[in-house]
Structure 1
């Protein structure tokens, strides 16, 4: 959704997506710290009514500012002992098709279309080096739109 708002008299500024106020931004920050917060806890932390907190949260979800609530886990503790960034160089105009193919590979935990020396950046998490090798050599390189891959092994990582 695109909104046009008056920045100053006679001028218009184009913004993408919904317009967020300070309370919305604070609510998003609180949810990023703890996605399990109740509406009541949000209301208390933001010093707004519970009805206001629930309405704002519903609007943020409806507007797809908040796109989901998820648990962050330690990959090592769930058996995913090897992680790597894998870069892909792909045939031009193949992103939409490739994105669907990558979504079918459960080891691909994050994907991004990027600009620069390569076209796609993937975060891949596997049970070990053999599984990583299999994902890269047998699954990613087998995709018809993938021209080349490069693998960067992660020794330690920290999510925020």
Structure 2
């Protein structure tokens, strides 16, 4: 990606968000399918202004995409787990690419503390989870160790309309 000056390989600095931008983000987090017209009406700007702001938020990488919040159990993914990984130093990018290719991987984070990576996966059942951990993740040469934490129940918090705008 190039910055606004056109220099290759640099990420442009983030432009500051105003209260209208934050209001648009809250609306789209609640309903990613909201029309430009509905967004414009709710934030009291013209459709052209709402369209331009949403495009800028996408262009700036503030909005990374639009998607659906899925009930994984109802979608046939009845087993969920957080998997912690200790990895070889300086192998994050390689490990991240391999983890992104795994079926059922929904969240990957490089973290600090007792382990290096936190991975959230959803699989059809415990057998598929076991196979994923033992034959795919632990087979990666950069992975030194794993720990699997089964999820018994989860709640998708989604957007937080109860929080003040400055905390969203």
Instruction: Please say whether Structure 1 and Structure 2 have the same fold, judged by a TM-score greater than 0.5.
Output: yes
TM score, norm. by length of structure 1: 0.89
Which of residues 94, 98, 104 in structure 1 aligns to 2:95? 98
- Structure 2: distance between partners of 1:106 and 1:28: 29
Residue 48 of structure 1 is matched in structure 2 by 45
Which of residues 70, 76, 79 in structure 2 aligns to 1:79? 76
Residue 110 of structure 1 is matched in structure 2 by 107
Which of residues 29, 42, 66 in structure 1 aligns to 2:26? 29
Shift of 1:72: 1.3
Q: What is the DSSP-based 3-state SS (H/G/I as helix, E as strand, rest coil) of the residue aligned with 2:74?
A: helix
Shift of 1:149: 0.2
Shift of 1:132: 0.4
Structure 2: runs of 5 or more not aligned = 4-12, 159-168
Residue 62 of structure 2 is matched in structure 1 by 65
TM score, norm. by length of structure 2: 0.85
Which of residues 85, 89, 92 in structure 2 aligns to 1:88? 85
Shift of 1:139: 0.5
Q: Deviations over 1:81-105 (max 9, x none)?
A: 0000000000100001111111111
Matched, 1:123 2:120: yes
Segments ≥4 residues shifted beyond 3 Å: none
Residue 142 of structure 1 is matched in structure 2 by 139
Shift of 1:108: 1.2
Higher RCO (CA 8 Å, separation ≥ 6 residues): 2
Bigger strand fraction: 1
Larger radius of gyration: 1
Shift of 1:106: 1.6
- Provide the alpha-carbon RMSD of the alignment: 1.3
- Structure 2: distance between partners of 1:108 and 1:40: 35
Shift of 1:18: 1.7
Structure 1: runs of 5 or more not aligned = 2-15
